[in-house]
Amino acid sequence: MGRGPPDGAAVSSAAMNATPQPDDEAAARAANSRLVRDFGLLIKSATRLEQRIDGELRRECGISHTMLEVLIRLCRRPGEEISQRHLADDLTLTSGGTTRLLDRMEEAGLVHRIPSPADRRVTLVETTPRGSEVFLRAAAVHARLVEKYFVGPLTADDHRRLTAALDRIDTALRDDT
Amino acid sequence: MGRGPPDGAAVSSAAMNATPQPDDEAAARAANSRLVRDFGLLIKSATRLEQRIDGELRRECGISHTMLEVLIRLCRRPGEEISQRHLADDLTLTSGGTTRLLDRMEEAGLVHRIPSPADRRVTLVETTPRGSEVFLRAAAVHARLVEKYFVGPLTADDHRRLTAALDRIDTALRDDT
DNA sequence: AGGTTTTAGTTGAGCAATCAGCAATTGATT
DNA sequence: AATCAATTGCTGATTGCTCAACTAAAACCT
């Protein structure tokens, strides 16, 4: 009653399809490749993780995970000038997406925009006091979830190696184009 | 003219905000936490990776990464009965999302739906010959990218450990509700 | 100077997902 | 056998992004 197919029965329906294409075998081989599965796992677990934290943040703090990422960057070094462009690059968003994200955050009273005195094209983004406050609550939720799903299942060594590996992957991605 | 703030100047604008809230310091501390950054890296690198492969697949094969994930599952064990529900769970999609995803794939001639003879609520999904064919081309693109960004930057040992770690994370996520 | 090219941000249109609500079918309870 | 609960897939409305076209400002050439 385990996971594997019970050998014969399940295969019957597709066998009626016509001549068993030579493609089918090749496709089955490709689909069962180790790398394909591993890669899928990376994407899937990251997606699940983000969905989980996003849902929890929305429920408990009323902000999305993306908004939290913005607040993280704005709170990191208070007073540092951060432009929309900079945020867009850092968050892997387009400039248009960033515009509207900040529209929503501004409307929610979490940030405000200030035209840069040095360059009249750029607008700088700052947290409001309310932004910092919401961020603190969100950070607590975040910490709890990270603890549970990211730290809990891993040894300290695993964690260190995982981070290092991701960092190399991320660097490779950024360096290319 | 480097990256870091030139010490005094950048801080001035925020300092005018009012009384320096005690929150600000706490927020800065939280934002600089090691875990926050590591977690962000996981999400970000996975996102970038998926965007990259998604774009390449669309350009070269005309399908999205999500569609590829569907084809992988349908080709893995040809003849195995796979319901929409099963796909939805496996892809971390809602049933509504799956319905429309399969609508598009059916329209593109990649899959077709068959009502299950055993349970008239469920509809089964199969690849068409064209689906297998497209999958083969997509798998080649996929393999090239996985090789470049997932295998290239890592040693074999890193890769093995990374996968194991992700598997534990994914399991923890699934086991919890 | 003066004209071209690049960069920052906004906007309209479109896409792919979500959520919430629905009908049909099945299984369980009495 | 009749009801009630749970499950499957579909649909309208909404969300949050992308892409492409646009304006304004700055940087770069001769």
Task: Provide DSSP, A67-93.
Answer: HHHHHHHHHHSTT---BHHHHHHHHT-
Smallest Cα distance from B135 to chain A, Å: 7
Distance CA B119, CA B117 (A): 6
Nearest to A170 among B41, B81, B166 (CB): B41
Say what the pLDDT of residue A20 is. 56
Q: What is the pLDDT of residue B44?
A: 87
Q: Give the tens place of pLDDT for each residue, A2-16.
A: 343 433 333 334 444
pTM metric for this prediction: 0.83
Q: How confident is the model at residue A19 (pLDDT cuts 50, 70, 90)?
A: low
Percent of chain A with pLDDT over 90: 44
Low-confidence ranges of chain B (pLDDT < 70): 1-23, 177
pLDDT at A26: 75
Indicate whether A163 pLDDT > 80.
yes
Q: Is the CB of B127 under 7 A from strand C?
A: no
Of residues B61, B83, B65, B64, the one with CA closest to residue B74: B83
A83 touches strand C (CB under 7 A): yes
Cβ atoms within 10 Å, residue A55 = 12
A59 touches strand D (CB under 7 A): no
As a whole number, mean pLDDT of residues A54-79 equals 92
The pLDDT assigned to B131 comes to 94
Residue A42 has pLDDT above 80, yes or no: yes
Mean of pLDDT over chain A? 84
Taking an 8 Å cut-off on Cβ atoms, the answer to whether A80 and B5 are in contact is yes
Residues of B (50-89) whose Cβ lies below 8 Å from A: 50-52, 65, 69, 71-73, 75-81
> How much is the pLDDT for B12?
37
Burial class (CB in 10 A: 0-12, 13-18, 19+), B115: exposed
Q: What is the pLDDT of residue B145?
A: 84
- Beta-strand pair A111-115/A123-127: antiparallel
Interface contact flag, A46 B42, Cβ < 8 Å: yes
Q: Which of A3, A16, A47 is nearest to B76 (CA)?
A: A3
Using pLDDT thresholds of 50, 70 and 90, give the confidence band for residue A160: confident
With the C-alpha atoms ordered B46, B50, B51, B53, is the resulting torsion angle positive or negative?
positive
What mean pLDDT comes out for the span A72-81? Answer: 92
